[in-house]
Chains A and B, each alone.
Chain A
Amino acid sequence: MSTATLVGVSKKYGGTPALDHVDVAFSRGVTGLLGPNGAGKTTLLRILVTALGAETGEVSVLGADPATAHGRLSVRRRLGYAPQETGFPAGFTVFGFVDYMAILKEWSDRATRHAEVRRVVDVVGLGGVATKRLRALSGGQRRRVVLAQSLLGEPDLLVLDEPTAGLDPEQRARLRDTLGEAGQRATVVISTHQTDDVAALCERVVVLHTGEVRFDGLVGDLIGSAAGRVWLSDARDGSARHAWRTGSGRWRNVGDPPEGAELIDPVLEDAYLLLVGDSAELSEMAAAS
């Protein structure tokens, strides 16, 4: 059962298409939206959170139609959103800002609201700095403040744009924990251009490239698509599409291996590079023909 569906959705900025006839559905669990910068990830997320309307196609989020004011309101009541970049009104403390957001999310009773604010501030590990002013925090801590407000009220749809940017490994591990838990009962959609994040955080992955969906399925299946296409060699292999020297001093090659190559198990990054490379080749071929 899908929580959010986009059918034939397109969106242009100026003349440039950001999304081009995208069909995708999201359901319970953590889904990663993977793609290079400018692939249309943020545009897709902003359509999900009712900040943008689709130009063509149909969008349904949590059973409502975001094209109508009623639909947007009902989505916003069940939504948690952490945009990639946001500022904060001046002068707030961590607790004060999350409390301010909770008021905007219609928590009017002070006692229950404050209890909820404490809960989410603790979940993101900021309980110790709750009384600090936002401007005194590090970038990673501010990212977690944004994450904290998105968790208010355990939303049914949690949308996080680049949630791992600026987080150190320990903070990322904590985020993985938080998202895993949220994914048990809610639909969680995160965007990233890091394959590591998807491998660590997501069950499902949607790869976007130049505004089109290039892959939509289980992370394991995407990795499996690169089986037999990754090998080690002592020098850069000319037939590789991508090759780099690893820590062991040997070269990791991704592409179409020569006869007798020393094949190894692929990781998500290999599969992603192949997928995006194949897509680029296909579009070049299409352009040439």
Chain B
Amino acid sequence: MTIPPAASWHSDEPTLAAFVDGTVDQVLGASVEAHLMTCADCRGTVARLASTDLLEDVWARVREEVERPATTLVERALIRVGVSEATATLLAAVPALRGAWVLALASATLFAVLGSEASQLFGMVTFLLVAPLAPLLGVAVSFSGDADPSSELVQSTPYSTLRLLLLRTCGVVASAVPVAIVVGLALPGPSWLSVGWLSPAAAVVFLTLALGPHLGHTVSAAVVGASWSLAVAFATRTDSLSELVEPAVQLICLALAAAGAVSVFIHYRPVTHPWRSS
């Protein structure tokens, strides 16, 4: 049996039309496809039969695959835990979730661990300084003028400023908290040390956000950060460092955090809220 040369026969038009519509079975489809590879005439017929809508659709899908930026590790993780794709993209743009920042944070907390090898007091002081200030620095990094160089563009969009602010803060906190909890557990000292810094951290973050619109986020982070550092320094001198993580101070911190949160909400309150008078 001899195989005829490819160009000596042609698929009939109904078959090619069915191929274009995708209604041929797998075997026929494969053989038409093989034939098309070698037959310019039939390719011409297919080109004529294929609607431009179909071609545009295929082209759009090809471009979608090629042009869509690769999702980062952070985005994939966020989508996996149920965050919407759009929100994950916004979160991934937060500077505090970028490599350099996470690295800086990890080295700062590592410093606290190494310090504790030298002396327990030094380790605790460093940890109490670094742990609440890390999210604070993240906020400063994410909200200062340089952090969002496109802020003028972002401001001209209808996206809720409050939502964006909270999203970014969540991003910062999510990047800072797990590391600090693990380090806190590894440190010698009172066992609640590993979580006791959380309410001071909440207080400094919300106070910074609350003062931000009035002082600028960099200045407000500096003021709040300096205040916390002074508190730690004072507690170290008076030998009452552990009191910083005891109930009284914790309650004060939580109250400050709540006050900051309320102030943030009032400043950026969503305009679509029914009780908002215009």
Contact = CB atoms under 8 A, between A and B. Distances in A.
Contacts of A106: 157-159
Interface residues of B, number: 31
A286 interface: no
A115 interface: yes
Contacts of B98: 90-91
A93 B155 CA distance: 21
A8 interface: no
Contact of B152 (A86, A93, A108, A131): A86
B156 A118 contact: no
B79 to A, nearest CB: 11
A86 B60 contact: no
B103 interface: no
A111 B150 CA distance: 25
B246 interface: no
B277 to A, nearest CB: 9
B84 interface: yes
Interface stretch (B24-32, B63-71, B202-210, B253-261): B63-71
Contacts of B86: 103, 107-108, 110, 113
A79 B156 contact: yes
Interface stretch (A66-74, A236-244, A251-259): A66-74
A149 B276 CA distance: 31
A104 B90 contact: yes
A83 B151 CA distance: 11
B240 interface: no
A8 to B, nearest CB: 22
B117 interface: no
B159 A86 contact: no
B278 A70 contact: yes
Contact of B67 (A49, A87, A104, A130): A130
Contact of A76 (B93, B149, B156): B156
B152 A104 contact: no
A113 B66 CA distance: 16
A95 interface: yes
B132 interface: no
A118 B157 contact: no
> Which 9 A-B pairs have CB atoms at the shortest separation, nearest pair first?
A87-B149, A69-B271, A96-B69, A104-B157, A76-B158, A104-B159, A81-B156, A68-B278, A130-B67
Given A91-B98, A114-B68, A131-B66, 15 more contacts: A51-B152, A68-B278, A69-B271, A69-B276, A70-B271, A73-B158, A87-B149, A88-B150, A95-B68, A99-B69, A100-B90, A100-B93, A108-B86, A118-B67, A130-B67
24 contacts: A51-B155, A70-B278, A73-B271, A73-B272, A76-B156, A77-B158, A81-B153, A83-B153, A87-B149, A88-B149, A89-B93, A89-B150, A92-B93, A95-B69, A100-B90, A103-B90, A103-B159, A105-B158, A114-B64, A114-B68, A118-B60, A118-B67, A130-B63, A146-B153
Interface of A: 49-51, 68-73, 76-77, 79, 81, 83, 86-93, 95-96, 99-101, 103-108, 110, 113-115, 118, 130-131, 146, 149
